[in-house]
Chain A
Amino acid sequence: MKGVIFNLLEEVVTEHHGDSVWDTLLETTGSSGVYTSLGSYADAELYELVGAASNLTGIPVRTLLHWFGINALPKLATRYPAFFESAPDARSFILSVNTIIHPEVRKLYSGASCPHFHFAETAQTLTLGYRSPRKLCDLAHGFVEGVAAHYGETVTFSQPACMHDGAPSCQLLVTWPQ
């Protein structure tokens, strides 16, 4: 997992709950807490941190990931404004993930294992097919909502299929109102 995800998590937790909570999470999990966007870290560390947060707050892990995605998005927009500037709306931003954003990530970090989304579009909807052993569909869900919020758009979100329920891949359906 890229270090930037850990950085975002730290920023979101610190912003909403104070840096002592983040420190507690690190203490609880025995993590060093030394994360830089230039590095990659074991996926397990992220799951442990989120798990510890869940234990601390009593909020389920999946809900926490969703929350994290929504709140991390504005911070991504601050860090990487160019991606947002070149996309005029939420739909085109989401569609640029495969073609622009993840290729750019790979330019910085060779060997980064970015997920590939399979898109299916109608006039009102956009379906993201997501398949990854990380099963981070909730984080993706949060990101998508964050994107809509960034562009000031209202969307409804549903997930007709989920790997957590045994589906081979997750289907994330974004719908724009008529």
Chain B
Amino acid sequence: MTARPDPTSFDVSLEARCAQLERQLKRERQTRLEAESIAERGLREAYLTNQRFELLCSVTNAANHSVDPLDTLRFAIAEICALNGWVFANVLLRKGNGGDARLEACGLWHARNPDQMFAFADLSGRLIAWPCATAPGRMLIHPSAVWTRDIQASGDEGRNGLARQSNLRASITVPVLLGQELYAVMEFFTQCAVEPDPQQLEMLNQIGTQIGRVFKRQANEKKLIENAMRDPLTDLPNRAQFENRLEAIFQGNTGATSRRTSLIYIDLDGFKLVNDALGHLAGDRLLVEMASRLRKVAEGYATTPYPGAPDSVLIARIGGDEFIILVEGEHHSDDAADIAKDIHDVLRPSYFIETNEVRCAASIGIAHDDGSYAVSADLMRDADVAMYDAKSRGPGQTVTFDLTMRERAVGRLKLEAELRTALQLDEFCLRYQPIIDIESGQIVGFEALLRWQRGDSLVFPSEFLQVAEENGLMNVLGAWVLREASTVAAGWRRAHSHLPPFYMSVNVAPCQFLQPNFVDQVRDIIDATNVDPRVLVIELTENAAITNRERTRSVLEALRAMGIRLSLDDFGTGYSSFTHLQTLPFDNIKIDRSFVADGQSNVSSSIIDAMLSIARALDIGVIAEGIETRAQLDRLAAVGCTFGQGYLYDKAVTAEVALEKLGASAGYETPSQGQLLNP
């Protein structure tokens, strides 16, 4: 059992009891005061937190609704000063990059009593701070808020002593930043020393972030607008910007003012080939390079002052490989012609993508506004038409628009529609031109040639192939040709076992050859038609062969592995024919008709001579194209050319006639005696 204290031992006198109670009362009072004091501190804290939260909310709200970060900053610094009783605030904006990075005041400041600190405010509003130890300068080095309790005590000169004159004491510098990106700095001053308050700093940093969002948003919007008006790949103005400008010129034209504009429409020849052969990245690099060359030409005219210089020259990229230059000025027609000439010059040097040497030429169409154009789109259309005309004349041509072109353009559109219909109606057919052993006069093969049975007339490819290529019909047509020729060859062999050996030579267009699944297509056609692949010869032009040599080689080797033989067509017209001959596995070369026709000249004769020597050295067959006269045949025979084709032997004939000729024992004519070179 616990011993209990004896209550009687606590008996005290009344006086002592009173004293005891008074002590107790005093303690209670102290306790109450302490409790009140704790509660008051809590209330004060809650009040401040709430006020700061409200400030943050109001600044965030302002930031959300603001399009101009300076408006948000104006609002924020006034609110912050009002809440804290701070007397001055100033805003500096981040300018420059790298070594040029600095903070510049923008004249945006807030003062409780502007008249009493005007000198300080005025100087602050023009301040430029470089990275340094001063509070704003430090933001550039380490963007984190700086709170100085008393700048006067810290010995800070405070803007040449003006801070002291205005009795400014504490300074609080807050970065406006989002992530690592510093956009601006807010600086605040008080007129009494204020201890740094971490919670307050945290809130100010958050306000800085909210305003940073407005800067970021504004920067993004600016970028969006720029992107909408600029081609991101080449950094040239885009079609939208160009059309705006052209439209503005047309809108500004009145009857009284003369129109002085020309459009130069530029389409890069050879770009698509590079894009298809080396891939889009290579194509992009080529575009960037060519765009940069074009820009230099345009800028040269735009910025060089000389008498009669154009008022303005705007270059834009308006499509994949299409550019346009708008020339304004009194001598716009002459300027446009000069610019076009310079463009051809500047594009001429080749360009290397990795180890691939690539070239671009330009087809250029020019249209002048002589005042007859009512709408800008018509001027643009005519420049486009002229460009198409230039393109049809081969790479590197300039054509100025005239009215006959419009008719031709309309004709081209019609032709395109007709081509599509022709494909559906099966209006295409093949003709076969014999290829002859020059020595014996016997047929060794045929070249399958495409024709279009358009009503009663037979249309040659020269009239429709370009349109077919431009409209993506070439691959369809090319596949059809290969299938048809294979079917015919297989049929001949099946039905007529007694036929002498022959081959069927089929032309493949560059775009067709560059299809990623070309080898598969050929294999499918061989399977479907049951043709002996050893009968097939594929003719490829140099353009198609050289664009991506590695890929060309692998495709050619795959074809050869199937038993197909390969001819390099139009030999001698390309850029560096002999090199390709050594590195790519061709079985034959076909000497272009231009050398054969011109065979009497010493130059062509020497070239043919050289071609034959190399072909012999590489053990490659040689076929001369376009033999039209006996004299040509004799000369070719004299230099040792083994095979030939041309009107002297036969034109291209129908399959029936071709079969007949192949079966006939009588051969074609042979060279005159004494012209044969014994190899």
A29 to B192, CA, bound (A): 46
A103 touches B85 (CB 8 A): yes
A108 touches B40 (CB 8 A): yes
A108 touches B44 (CB 8 A): yes
A76 to B33, CA, bound (A): 13
> Count of chain A residues with Cβ under 8 Å from any Cβ of B?
13
Tell me the dominant secondary structure on chain B's binding face: helix
List B contacts of A99 (CB < 8 A).
Answer: 85
A86-B192, A103-B85 are known contacts. Are A36 and B36 too (CB-CB below 8 A)? yes
**Does residue B32 face the partner (Cβ distance < 8 Å to A)?**
yes
B47 touches A108 (CB 8 A): yes
List B contacts of A36 (CB < 8 A).
Answer: 32, 36
A38 to B39, CA, bound (A): 8
B192 touches A107 (CB 8 A): no
**Minimal Cβ-Cβ distance residue in A for B40:** A108
**Does residue B43 face the partner (Cβ distance < 8 Å to A)?**
yes
**Minimal Cβ-Cβ distance residue in A for B43:** A108
A86-B192, A103-B85 are known contacts. Are A109 and B43 too (CB-CB below 8 A)? yes
List B contacts of A24 (CB < 8 A).
Answer: none
Interface centre among B33, B40, B48, B85 (most CB of A within 10 A): B40
Cβ proximity bits A132-175 to B, threshold 8 Å, 1 near / 0 not: 00000000000000000000000000000000000000000000
List A contacts of B85 (CB < 8 A).
Answer: 99, 103
List A contacts of B44 (CB < 8 A).
Answer: 104, 107-108
**Does residue A37 face the partner (Cβ distance < 8 Å to B)?**
yes
**Minimal Cβ-Cβ distance residue in A for B22:** A19
A104 to B84, CA, bound (A): 11
A108 to B39, CA, bound (A): 9
Interface residues in A13-53 by Cβ distance below 8 A to B read 19, 36-38
List A contacts of B33 (CB < 8 A).
Answer: 79
List A contacts of B192 (CB < 8 A).
Answer: 86
A52 to B48, CA, bound (A): 40
A38 touches B47 (CB 8 A): no
A110 touches B47 (CB 8 A): yes
B50 to chain A, nearest CB (A): 9
**Minimal Cβ-Cβ distance residue in A for B85:** A99
Interface residues in B471-500 by Cβ distance below 8 A to A read none
A99-B85, A103-B85 are known contacts. Are A38 and B36 too (CB-CB below 8 A)? yes
List B contacts of A79 (CB < 8 A).
Answer: 33
List A contacts of B40 (CB < 8 A).
Answer: 37-38, 108
Cβ proximity bits A105-144 to B, threshold 8 Å, 1 near / 0 not: 0011110000000000000000000000000000000000
A107 to B39, CA, bound (A): 12
**Minimal Cβ-Cβ distance residue in A for B39:** A38
A108 to B47, CA, bound (A): 7
List A contacts of B47 (CB < 8 A).
Answer: 107-108, 110
List B contacts of A110 (CB < 8 A).
Answer: 47
A160 to B25, CA, bound (A): 44
A19 to B32, CA, bound (A): 17
Interface centre among A19, A36, A108 (most CB of B within 10 A): A108
List A contacts of B43 (CB < 8 A).
Answer: 38, 107-109
A5 to chain B, nearest CB (A): 13
B36 touches A107 (CB 8 A): no
List B contacts of A37 (CB < 8 A).
Answer: 36, 40
List B contacts of A104 (CB < 8 A).
Answer: 44
List A contacts of B25 (CB < 8 A).
Answer: 19
List B contacts of A103 (CB < 8 A).
Answer: 85
A23 to chain B, nearest CB (A): 11
**Minimal Cβ-Cβ distance residue in B for A14:** B29
A104 to B44, CA, bound (A): 8
List B contacts of A38 (CB < 8 A).
Answer: 36, 39-40, 43
A35 to chain B, nearest CB (A): 10
**Minimal Cβ-Cβ distance residue in B for A104:** B44
B47 to chain A, nearest CB (A): 4
B667 to chain A, nearest CB (A): 117
**15 A-B contacts, Cβ less than 8 Å apart?**
A19-B25, A36-B32, A36-B36, A37-B40, A38-B39, A38-B43, A79-B33, A86-B192, A99-B85, A104-B44, A107-B43, A107-B44, A107-B48, A108-B40, A109-B43
The 8 closest A-B CB pairs, nearest first, are: A107-B47, A37-B36, A108-B43, A107-B44, A108-B40, A38-B39, A108-B44, A38-B36
Give me the interface of A with B, judged by CB distance under 8 Å: 19, 36-38, 79, 86, 99, 103-104, 107-110
Q: Given known contacts A38-B40, A107-B43, what 15 new A-B pairs fall within 8 Å (CB)?
A: A19-B25, A36-B32, A36-B36, A37-B36, A38-B43, A99-B85, A103-B85, A104-B44, A107-B44, A107-B47, A108-B40, A108-B43, A108-B47, A109-B43, A110-B47
